[in-house]
Amino acid sequence: MTIRWGLIGASTIASQWMIDAIRAQDGGEVCAVMSASAERAQAYAAEHGIDKATDSVAQIAADPDLDAIYISTTNELHRDQAIAAARAGKHVLCEKPLALTLDDARSMVDACSQAGVVMGTNHHLRNAATHRAMREAIQQGRIGRPLAARVFHAVYLPENLQGWRLDRPAAGGGVILDITVHDADTLRFVLDDDPVEAVALSQRAGMACGELEDGVMYALRFSSGLIAQGHDAFTVRHANTGFEVHGSEGSLVATDVMTQRAVGRVTLHSATGAEELATEPENLYVRAVRNFHNAMQGDGAPSASGADGVWSLACALAVLESTRSGRRIAVTPGV
Protein backbone atom coordinates (compact mmCIF):
# COMPACT_ATOMS: atom_id res chain seq x y z
CA MET A 1 0.00 0.00 0.00
CA THR A 2 1.36 3.40 -0.98
CA ILE A 3 1.05 6.03 1.75
CA ARG A 4 1.62 9.56 0.49
CA TRP A 5 2.74 12.24 2.91
CA GLY A 6 2.63 16.00 2.92
CA LEU A 7 4.93 18.02 5.14
CA ILE A 8 3.61 21.12 6.87
CA GLY A 9 6.86 22.81 7.79
CA ALA A 10 10.09 22.84 5.78
CA SER A 11 11.94 21.91 8.95
CA THR A 12 15.32 20.66 10.08
CA ILE A 13 13.84 17.58 11.76
CA ALA A 14 12.04 16.61 8.57
CA SER A 15 15.24 17.11 6.59
CA GLN A 16 17.47 15.20 9.00
CA TRP A 17 15.14 12.41 10.09
CA MET A 18 11.54 12.23 8.92
CA ILE A 19 11.85 12.32 5.13
CA ASP A 20 14.24 9.37 5.20
CA ALA A 21 12.04 7.57 7.78
CA ILE A 22 9.00 7.87 5.54
CA ARG A 23 10.91 6.74 2.47
CA ALA A 24 12.30 3.77 4.40
CA GLN A 25 8.79 2.28 4.58
CA ASP A 26 7.36 0.02 1.90
CA GLY A 27 5.20 2.38 -0.11
CA GLY A 28 6.15 5.48 1.87
CA GLU A 29 6.32 8.61 -0.28
CA VAL A 30 6.87 12.30 0.49
CA CYS A 31 4.83 14.12 -2.13
CA ALA A 32 4.38 17.72 -0.97
CA VAL A 33 5.81 20.34 1.36
CA MET A 34 4.33 23.54 2.73
CA SER A 35 6.20 26.55 4.14
CA ALA A 36 4.93 30.03 4.93
CA SER A 37 7.56 31.17 2.43
CA ALA A 38 6.79 30.01 -1.12
CA GLU A 39 10.44 30.48 -2.01
CA ARG A 40 11.59 28.30 0.89
CA ALA A 41 9.00 25.66 0.02
CA GLN A 42 10.26 25.49 -3.57
CA ALA A 43 13.92 25.33 -2.51
CA TYR A 44 13.20 22.65 0.10
CA ALA A 45 11.23 20.58 -2.40
CA ALA A 46 14.05 20.78 -4.93
CA GLU A 47 16.66 19.82 -2.31
CA HIS A 48 14.71 16.77 -1.14
CA GLY A 49 13.17 15.56 -4.39
CA ILE A 50 9.59 16.46 -3.44
CA ASP A 51 7.19 17.06 -6.33
CA LYS A 52 4.86 19.70 -4.88
CA ALA A 53 5.54 22.88 -2.92
CA THR A 54 3.09 25.44 -1.55
CA ASP A 55 2.77 28.25 0.97
CA SER A 56 -0.87 27.37 1.74
CA VAL A 57 -2.02 25.13 4.60
CA ALA A 58 -5.46 24.90 3.00
CA GLN A 59 -3.97 23.72 -0.28
CA ILE A 60 -1.79 20.96 1.16
CA ALA A 61 -4.57 19.82 3.52
CA ALA A 62 -7.05 19.55 0.66
CA ASP A 63 -4.66 17.80 -1.74
CA PRO A 64 -6.48 14.61 -2.82
CA ASP A 65 -3.18 12.89 -3.57
CA LEU A 66 -2.12 12.89 0.11
CA ASP A 67 -3.00 10.39 2.83
CA ALA A 68 -1.15 11.81 5.84
CA ILE A 69 0.30 15.08 7.06
CA TYR A 70 3.42 15.51 9.21
CA ILE A 71 3.50 18.83 11.11
CA SER A 72 6.81 20.29 12.27
CA THR A 73 6.20 24.03 12.33
CA THR A 74 6.65 26.19 15.42
CA ASN A 75 4.40 25.17 18.28
CA GLU A 76 1.84 27.97 18.18
CA LEU A 77 0.84 26.94 14.65
CA HIS A 78 0.15 23.24 15.30
CA ARG A 79 -3.48 23.51 16.37
CA ASP A 80 -4.94 25.17 13.28
CA GLN A 81 -2.77 23.11 10.92
CA ALA A 82 -3.72 19.80 12.52
CA ILE A 83 -7.41 20.64 12.58
CA ALA A 84 -7.31 21.67 8.91
CA ALA A 85 -5.63 18.40 7.97
CA ALA A 86 -8.04 16.29 10.01
CA ARG A 87 -11.11 18.02 8.57
CA ALA A 88 -9.73 17.27 5.11
CA GLY A 89 -9.55 13.58 6.02
CA LYS A 90 -5.78 13.37 6.44
CA HIS A 91 -4.08 11.34 9.17
CA VAL A 92 -1.95 13.59 11.38
CA LEU A 93 1.48 13.06 12.93
CA CYS A 94 2.47 16.18 14.86
CA GLU A 95 5.64 17.27 16.58
CA LYS A 96 5.72 17.99 20.27
CA PRO A 97 4.50 19.89 22.12
CA LEU A 98 1.16 19.54 20.41
CA ALA A 99 0.22 23.12 21.27
CA LEU A 100 0.79 25.84 23.84
CA THR A 101 -2.37 25.22 25.85
CA LEU A 102 -4.22 22.09 26.90
CA ASP A 103 -7.45 23.35 25.36
CA ASP A 104 -5.71 23.68 21.99
CA ALA A 105 -4.11 20.25 22.26
CA ARG A 106 -7.39 18.61 23.20
CA SER A 107 -9.12 20.33 20.27
CA MET A 108 -6.59 18.73 17.93
CA VAL A 109 -7.26 15.27 19.36
CA ASP A 110 -11.01 15.85 19.16
CA ALA A 111 -10.82 16.99 15.53
CA CYS A 112 -8.93 13.86 14.51
CA SER A 113 -11.35 11.65 16.44
CA GLN A 114 -14.39 13.29 14.84
CA ALA A 115 -12.83 12.94 11.38
CA GLY A 116 -11.99 9.28 11.96
CA VAL A 117 -8.30 9.75 11.23
CA VAL A 118 -5.25 8.54 13.15
CA MET A 119 -3.40 11.11 15.24
CA GLY A 120 0.08 10.62 16.62
CA THR A 121 2.56 12.73 18.58
CA ASN A 122 6.13 12.41 17.37
CA HIS A 123 7.68 11.48 20.73
CA HIS A 124 10.63 9.64 19.22
CA LEU A 125 12.18 8.43 22.50
CA ARG A 126 9.44 5.82 23.01
CA ASN A 127 10.91 4.05 20.01
CA ALA A 128 14.39 3.67 21.49
CA ALA A 129 15.35 0.03 22.06
CA THR A 130 16.86 1.04 25.41
CA HIS A 131 13.63 2.54 26.72
CA ARG A 132 11.60 -0.41 25.48
CA ALA A 133 14.00 -2.76 27.29
CA MET A 134 13.61 -0.76 30.51
CA ARG A 135 9.82 -0.84 30.25
CA GLU A 136 9.88 -4.62 29.71
CA ALA A 137 12.22 -5.22 32.64
CA ILE A 138 9.96 -3.21 34.94
CA GLN A 139 6.85 -5.05 33.74
CA GLN A 140 8.62 -8.35 34.38
CA GLY A 141 9.24 -7.29 37.98
CA ARG A 142 13.01 -7.37 37.63
CA ILE A 143 13.54 -4.33 39.88
CA GLY A 144 10.60 -5.00 42.17
CA ARG A 145 8.36 -2.02 42.87
CA PRO A 146 9.61 1.14 41.14
CA LEU A 147 10.34 3.82 43.73
CA ALA A 148 12.24 6.63 42.02
CA ALA A 149 13.59 7.78 38.68
CA ARG A 150 16.11 10.30 37.40
CA VAL A 151 16.48 11.82 33.94
CA PHE A 152 19.60 13.61 32.70
CA HIS A 153 18.69 15.51 29.54
CA ALA A 154 20.97 18.54 29.73
CA VAL A 155 22.59 19.06 26.33
CA TYR A 156 23.98 21.86 24.16
CA LEU A 157 21.54 23.31 21.65
CA PRO A 158 23.25 23.22 18.23
CA GLU A 159 23.83 26.56 16.52
CA ASN A 160 21.47 25.72 13.66
CA LEU A 161 18.63 25.35 16.19
CA GLN A 162 19.44 28.49 18.19
CA GLY A 163 16.57 30.51 16.81
CA TRP A 164 12.97 30.70 18.02
CA ARG A 165 13.61 28.25 20.88
CA LEU A 166 15.67 30.96 22.56
CA ASP A 167 13.87 34.19 21.79
CA ARG A 168 10.19 33.60 20.93
CA PRO A 169 7.91 32.91 23.90
CA ALA A 170 4.86 33.16 21.64
CA ALA A 171 6.16 30.22 19.60
CA GLY A 172 6.64 28.04 22.67
CA GLY A 173 10.36 28.57 23.11
CA GLY A 174 12.38 27.56 26.16
CA VAL A 175 13.84 24.29 27.36
CA ILE A 176 10.72 23.07 29.19
CA LEU A 177 8.44 22.91 26.16
CA ASP A 178 11.31 21.65 24.02
CA ILE A 179 12.96 19.01 26.23
CA THR A 180 11.03 18.46 29.47
CA VAL A 181 8.00 17.51 27.39
CA HIS A 182 10.07 14.58 26.04
CA ASP A 183 11.12 13.55 29.54
CA ALA A 184 7.49 13.48 30.65
CA ASP A 185 6.48 11.18 27.82
CA THR A 186 9.48 8.89 28.25
CA LEU A 187 8.84 8.55 31.99
CA ARG A 188 5.16 7.73 31.37
CA PHE A 189 6.11 5.14 28.76
CA VAL A 190 8.88 3.39 30.68
CA LEU A 191 7.11 3.43 34.04
CA ASP A 192 3.58 2.84 32.70
CA ASP A 193 2.54 5.44 35.27
CA ASP A 194 1.15 8.97 35.16
CA PRO A 195 2.50 12.13 36.83
CA VAL A 196 0.14 13.87 39.25
CA GLU A 197 2.14 16.89 40.47
CA ALA A 198 5.27 18.87 39.65
CA VAL A 199 7.63 21.31 41.34
CA ALA A 200 10.56 22.99 39.59
CA LEU A 201 13.20 25.71 39.41
CA SER A 202 14.28 27.25 36.10
CA GLN A 203 17.53 28.89 35.07
CA ARG A 204 18.62 31.60 32.65
CA ALA A 205 22.27 30.83 32.04
CA GLY A 206 22.89 33.25 29.18
CA MET A 207 21.62 31.46 26.07
CA ALA A 208 17.87 32.17 26.13
CA CYS A 209 16.50 35.70 25.93
CA GLY A 210 14.00 37.58 28.07
CA GLU A 211 11.60 35.44 30.07
CA LEU A 212 12.59 32.16 28.43
CA GLU A 213 14.49 29.54 30.42
CA ASP A 214 17.50 27.58 29.13
CA GLY A 215 17.76 25.22 32.10
CA VAL A 216 15.39 23.55 34.56
CA MET A 217 15.47 21.08 37.42
CA TYR A 218 12.16 19.49 38.33
CA ALA A 219 10.58 16.84 40.53
CA LEU A 220 7.45 14.85 39.72
CA ARG A 221 5.20 12.65 41.79
CA PHE A 222 3.44 9.80 39.98
CA SER A 223 0.13 8.13 40.73
CA SER A 224 1.90 5.06 42.17
CA GLY A 225 3.80 7.24 44.64
CA LEU A 226 7.06 7.07 42.65
CA ILE A 227 9.04 10.30 42.60
CA ALA A 228 11.22 11.43 39.69
CA GLN A 229 13.71 14.20 39.17
CA GLY A 230 15.20 15.67 36.02
CA HIS A 231 17.72 18.17 34.71
CA ASP A 232 17.17 19.66 31.27
CA ALA A 233 19.25 22.37 29.62
CA PHE A 234 20.37 23.91 26.33
CA THR A 235 23.72 24.98 27.81
CA VAL A 236 25.61 21.81 28.79
CA ARG A 237 28.39 21.05 26.29
CA HIS A 238 30.19 18.02 27.71
CA ALA A 239 27.82 15.64 29.48
CA ASN A 240 26.11 12.40 28.53
CA THR A 241 22.39 11.92 28.87
CA GLY A 242 20.90 9.22 31.08
CA PHE A 243 17.83 7.69 32.65
CA GLU A 244 17.67 5.71 35.89
CA VAL A 245 14.83 3.82 37.56
CA HIS A 246 15.36 2.54 41.11
CA GLY A 247 13.12 -0.15 42.57
CA SER A 248 12.73 -2.19 45.73
CA GLU A 249 14.78 -5.06 44.28
CA GLY A 250 17.08 -3.45 41.74
CA SER A 251 18.01 -0.48 39.59
CA LEU A 252 18.08 0.23 35.87
CA VAL A 253 20.84 2.60 34.76
CA ALA A 254 20.74 3.75 31.14
CA THR A 255 23.41 5.97 29.58
CA ASP A 256 23.41 8.04 26.37
CA VAL A 257 19.72 7.33 25.81
CA MET A 258 17.93 10.71 25.67
CA THR A 259 18.92 11.21 22.06
CA GLN A 260 17.60 10.96 18.53
CA ARG A 261 20.24 8.37 17.66
CA ALA A 262 19.84 4.60 18.11
CA VAL A 263 22.57 4.33 20.73
CA GLY A 264 22.98 3.82 24.47
CA ARG A 265 23.01 0.93 26.92
CA VAL A 266 21.00 -0.23 29.92
CA THR A 267 22.43 -2.06 32.94
CA LEU A 268 20.32 -3.86 35.51
CA HIS A 269 21.82 -3.83 39.02
CA SER A 270 20.44 -6.28 41.59
CA ALA A 271 21.52 -8.64 44.34
CA THR A 272 22.94 -11.01 41.71
CA GLY A 273 25.22 -8.33 40.23
CA ALA A 274 25.16 -6.21 37.08
CA GLU A 275 23.65 -7.33 33.78
CA GLU A 276 23.54 -5.37 30.54
CA LEU A 277 20.12 -5.73 28.96
CA ALA A 278 19.97 -6.98 25.38
CA THR A 279 18.63 -4.44 22.89
CA GLU A 280 18.12 -4.36 19.14
CA PRO A 281 18.83 -0.76 18.07
CA GLU A 282 16.65 0.65 15.32
CA ASN A 283 16.26 4.12 13.85
CA LEU A 284 13.73 5.72 16.21
CA TYR A 285 11.91 7.63 13.48
CA VAL A 286 11.70 4.67 11.11
CA ARG A 287 9.97 2.71 13.87
CA ALA A 288 7.65 5.65 14.61
CA VAL A 289 6.55 5.96 10.98
CA ARG A 290 6.14 2.19 10.62
CA ASN A 291 3.85 2.09 13.65
CA PHE A 292 1.92 5.07 12.30
CA HIS A 293 1.48 3.41 8.89
CA ASN A 294 0.24 0.25 10.58
CA ALA A 295 -2.24 2.25 12.64
CA MET A 296 -3.52 3.94 9.47
CA GLN A 297 -4.26 0.46 8.14
CA GLY A 298 -6.06 -0.61 11.30
CA ASP A 299 -3.19 -2.54 12.86
CA GLY A 300 -2.16 -1.28 16.28
CA ALA A 301 -1.62 2.32 17.34
CA PRO A 302 0.96 5.06 16.83
CA SER A 303 3.99 4.88 19.09
CA ALA A 304 2.59 7.91 20.92
CA SER A 305 -1.04 8.90 20.47
CA GLY A 306 -2.61 12.33 20.50
CA ALA A 307 -3.70 11.68 24.07
CA ASP A 308 -0.08 10.90 24.98
CA GLY A 309 0.83 14.29 23.54
CA VAL A 310 -1.77 15.96 25.74
CA TRP A 311 -0.32 14.20 28.79
CA SER A 312 3.25 15.29 28.06
CA LEU A 313 2.12 18.87 27.45
CA ALA A 314 0.16 18.88 30.72
CA CYS A 315 3.26 17.79 32.61
CA ALA A 316 5.52 20.34 30.89
CA LEU A 317 3.02 23.13 31.54
CA ALA A 318 2.84 22.12 35.21
CA VAL A 319 6.65 22.29 35.43
CA LEU A 320 6.60 25.68 33.70
CA GLU A 321 3.91 27.05 36.03
CA SER A 322 5.83 25.81 39.05
CA THR A 323 8.97 27.68 37.96
CA ARG A 324 6.93 30.87 37.76
CA SER A 325 4.82 30.47 40.89
CA GLY A 326 7.17 28.64 43.25
CA ARG A 327 4.36 26.19 44.08
CA ARG A 328 3.59 22.52 43.51
CA ILE A 329 1.31 22.23 40.50
CA ALA A 330 -1.12 19.44 39.73
CA VAL A 331 -0.79 17.69 36.37
CA THR A 332 -4.29 17.72 34.86
CA PRO A 333 -4.43 16.65 31.20
CA GLY A 334 -8.19 16.18 31.09
CA VAL A 335 -8.08 13.22 28.67
Rounded to the nearest angstrom, the gap between the alpha carbon of residue 123 and the centroid of all alpha carbons in its chain is 3
What average pLDDT score do residues 139-155 get? 98
Q: What was the pLDDT predicted at 47?
A: 98
Domain spans of the chain, in order of start = 3-124, 125-285+313-330
**Is residue 210 within 8 Å of residue 167, measured between CB atoms?**
yes
Q: What was the pLDDT predicted at 162?
A: 86
CATH topology of domain 3-124: Rossmann fold (3.40.50)
Tens digits of residue pLDDT in 76-99: 999 999 999 999 999 999 999 999
What average pLDDT score do residues 292-312 get? 98
- Model's pTM, two decimal places? 0.96
Q: What was the pLDDT predicted at 335?
A: 82
**Whether the predicted pLDDT of 131 surpasses 90:** yes
Sheet holding 329-330, edge to edge: 273-276, 265-270, 250-255, 242-247, 146-154, 227-233, 215-222, 195-203, 329-330
**Whether the predicted pLDDT of 74 surpasses 90:** yes
Task: Tell me, yes or no, if the two domains 3-124 and 125-285+313-330 fold the same way.
Answer: no
At 161, the pLDDT band (50, 70, 90 cuts) reads confident
Q: What was the pLDDT predicted at 18?
A: 98
What average pLDDT score do residues 215-220 get? 98
At 283, the pLDDT band (50, 70, 90 cuts) reads very high
Tens digits of residue pLDDT in 240-276: 999 999 999 999 999 999 999 999 999 999 999 999 9
What average pLDDT score do residues 53-69 get? 98
CATH topology of domain 125-285+313-330: Dihydrodipicolinate Reductase; domain 2 (3.30.360)
**Whether the predicted pLDDT of 195 surpasses 90:** yes
